[in-house]
Amino acid sequence: MSQAQSLYPLIERALLCPVVEDKMAWTESLFRDWRTGRLARRDAPPAYALPEPGRPERPELVHPARVPKRSLSTHHGHGALLHAIVHIEFNAVNLALDAAWRFRQLPDAFVDDWLKVAAEEAGHFRLLQGRLSELGFAYGDFPAHDGLWAMCRKTDHDAMDRMALVPRVLEARGLDVTPGIQRRLAGIGDHASVAALDIILRDEVGHVLIGNRWFITLCRERGLEPQATFRGLLEEHGMRQHPGEYNLSARAAAGFFADELEALSRMADSVAGGR
């Protein structure tokens, strides 16, 4: 029987790969090979600060304020909206790979979870890239921003901070906004994209649940109360929960505490009452 390959150089290869199709294929094969025992956690130097993952030359990355508005009243706006979601999925692949590659002190279950998430995000990317192509556009045709990877850089020192601020904030926000995006797409008859987002929303609940579980596990290992720790991290990083509608049922399925959900419900009610 041949000796298992070292896992970490292969994750790093996928993470740094700038060729989109190769990155997705290598990410999916990583998870398959890990699950079948072809890869082992050995012979790896420590992880290092990674300013940028591998990405293609396009899309152009701009400040969020410079990303064009995405009105569905035009074909171009329709493409721009789907492109924005495709870009999120591309970044989500890199974030999940980085978690599996970076936090090497955590157990095999952590690696397994985040390689699984990376493979599923690659599937989401392919699914929406296909829809974008059917509209006559390609990934890279519209400007995009770098907010997700910026948060990855800010949390590369601590797995607990990463689990708090990426799954529990940024990815959970995706649970909130997806139903509204689906309603908008249904309104212009794009039922194929609505169906694709059904698949993605289902999987993303699982991804946020994984992040929630690891955040709570890491808090408890350190003797920290999770909700107070989460609030402290939001304050430390100058972040807040976005006002607006919350997908409370999806958040509940993703492992948020009941009193967190009650607080978000009150916040949504106060915003609605102020309109």
Q: From the CB of residue 195, how many other CB atoms can be counted at a distance below 10 Å?
A: 14
Report the chain's C-alpha Rg in angstroms: 19
Q: What is the CATH number of the domain that holds 175?
A: 1.20.1260
Helices 108-134 and 75-102, interaxial angle, to 10°? Answer: 160
pLDDT by position in tens, the chain (length 275): 468 899 999 999 999 999 999 999 999 999 999 999 999 998 778 899 999 999 999 999 998 878 877 789 999 999 999 999 999 999 999 999 999 999 999 999 999 999 999 999 999 999 999 999 999 999 999 999 988 899 999 999 999 999 999 999 999 999 999 999 999 999 999 999 999 999 999 999 999 999 999 999 999 999 999 999 999 999 999 887 777 789 999 999 999 999 999 999 988 776 555 55
Q: Is 47 within the bounds of a domain?
A: no
223 belongs to a structural domain: yes
Axis crossing angle, helix 20-35 with helix 108-134, rounded to the nearest 10 = 140
d(CA 147, CA 131): 24
In a domain, 48, yes or no: no
The answer as to whether 72 is a domain residue is yes
Total number of domains in the chain: 1
Confidence (pTM): 0.95
Residue 47 burial (10 A CB sphere; 0-12, 13-18, 19+): middle
**Domain for residue 46, yes or no?**
no
Q: Could you tell me the sign of the dihedral formed by the alpha carbons of 36, 42, 47, 52, in that order?
A: negative
- On whether residue 95 sits in a domain, the answer given is yes
Per-residue pLDDT, 1: 46
Can you tell me the distance from the alpha carbon of 80 to that of 83, in angstroms, rounded to the nearest whole number?
A: 5
CA distance from start to end of the chain? 67
What is the helix (H) or strand (E) element at residue 130, kind and residue range?
A: helix 108-134
Distance, CA of 179 to CA of 191 (rounded, Å): 13
SS3 content of the chain, % helix, strand, coil (to 5): 65, 0, 30
Considering only CA atoms, which of 130, 128, 152, 132 is closest in space to residue 142? 132
Alpha-carbon span 53 to 196, nearest angstrom: 26
Closest CA to 92 of 68, 115, 118: 118
- Residue pair 7/101 in contact (Cβ under 8 Å)? The answer is no
Domain that holds residue 133: 5-41+53-273
Token pair, residue 183, equals 């309603």
Residue 199 forms part of a structural domain: yes
Residue 71 included in any domain: yes
